[in-house]
Amino acid sequence: MSRFKDNFEIGLQTWSLGHYPDHDYILQACEDLGIRHVDIGNCHFEFVGNRPSAKVIDNHLRWLNTHTADGLNVRYEGERNFPGGSFLIPCIRETHFRGAGDQGEIVFGYQQTDYASLAARYREKGITIDTFGPGGLPWRADDGEQEARRIFEFGKTTGAGFIELHTIKEPQVRALEALQEEYGIKVAIHNHGKRHEFGKIEQLKPFFEKTSFSFSLDTAWAVDAGEDPLDMVRAFGDRLLCVHCKEFEYEPDGSYHGVVSGSGAFDLPGLIKLLDQSGYDGLLALEYEGFERDSITPLWQSKATVEALVAAL
């Protein structure tokens, strides 16, 4: 009897579709892929908080055009000055593609909405929002807990069981632990590579020893930091709530691009066996950071690989 195998249902981290900034596109992709669990990447929502919304939009647009495939441009059209405290979601306005390759343009805008409306769109399609993030907190230590509370309210409305954060400053720990207790929603630290404050096991251990936070593992960023993802599961399995199943391939200059799961960046069959042996029952979410015009095909391939490994247990 395998709790992992018997309860297994693969999920999707929506960063995989980050260059298509639209929730209707995500919902259609989930239907096409046969996926009913999502981890919503913070490229698909924005808490404006105390930051000017125009700056938020510019940062998002810069990220999109840095990460999309050569020849695929992303452009913003629409309102830029939303009131402080707004909750924004992106939506595609137009697409202009040339030929079958990665040539063309995606035009998107932001719209103001509320937590319940977004949650309802997923619920109507039978899709569970298990979590969202990863990101940092859009508030400074001297802002108090109000901005963090908005994130927990979003989690409560969507039904998310935990929130992924890749950056937490020491003065924020106490407020976050209190909010965990109040809302019954856990905070999971997400590792994010060699340049990240929580990239390595030796960085995470002392932090976990003095906090009650959980762990969200990204396999590609573990490898980037020189860690074996299996060692991270062994070290923090009792805190593990989510695994982003992702792989990178590196160029000689150090740049990277996403590849299909099972390409050999780490021991994926070994990871699946270890999750099974440890009785893991959290979310395993596909994530593909190719950001090509067609991200669905590699996601299909990744899904088939992972599901075959689980079926063989």
Q: Which domains does the chain have, with CATH numbers?
A: 3-43+115-311 (3.20.20.150)
pLDDT 10s digits, 122-148? 999 999 999 998 877 655 545 557 778
| The pLDDT of residue 144 | 54
Residue 76, number of CB atoms within 10 A of its CB:
18
Identity of the residue numbered 84:
G
CA-CA-CA-CA torsion sign (108, 258, 295, 162) = negative
pLDDT 10s digit of each residue in the chain, 313 long? 577 888 899 999 999 999 999 999 999 999 999 999 999 998 999 887 767 789 889 988 998 898 899 999 999 999 999 998 889 999 999 999 998 889 999 999 999 999 999 999 999 999 999 999 887 765 554 555 777 888 999 999 999 999 999 988 888 898 899 999 999 999 999 999 999 999 999 999 999 999 999 999 999 999 999 999 999 999 999 999 999 999 999 988 888 889 999 999 999 999 999 999 999 999 999 999 989 999 999 999 999 999 999 999 9
Give the residue from 165, 161, 176, 166 showing the smallest Cα distance to 38: 161
State pTM to two decimals: 0.95
Give the three-class secondary structure for 47: strand
CA distance 37 to 39: 7
Q: Distance between CA 109 and CA 79 in Å, rounded?
A: 7
Question: What are the tokens at 264?
Answer: 């050999």
What are the b/e assignments for 287-300, b being 16+ CB within 10 Å? bbbbbbbebbebbe
- In this prediction, residue 168 carries a pLDDT of 86
The predicted pLDDT at position 28 comes to 97
Q: Which of 79, 35, 39, 37 is nearest to 57 (CA)?
A: 79
What pLDDT does residue 51 have? Answer: 73
Q: Could you give the 3-state DSSP secondary structure of residue 107?
A: strand
User: What pLDDT is recorded for position 181?
Assistant: 97
CA distance 14 to 192: 16
Listed in sequence order, the residues at least 6 apart from 164 whose beta carbon sits closer than 8 Å to its beta carbon are: 39, 131, 132, 133, 134, 135, 188, 189, 190, 216, 242
Q: Are 162 and 242 in contact (CB under 8 A)?
A: yes
pLDDT value, residue 1 = 54
d(CA 33, CA 11): 10
The first and second tokens of residue 138, run together, are: 């859009």
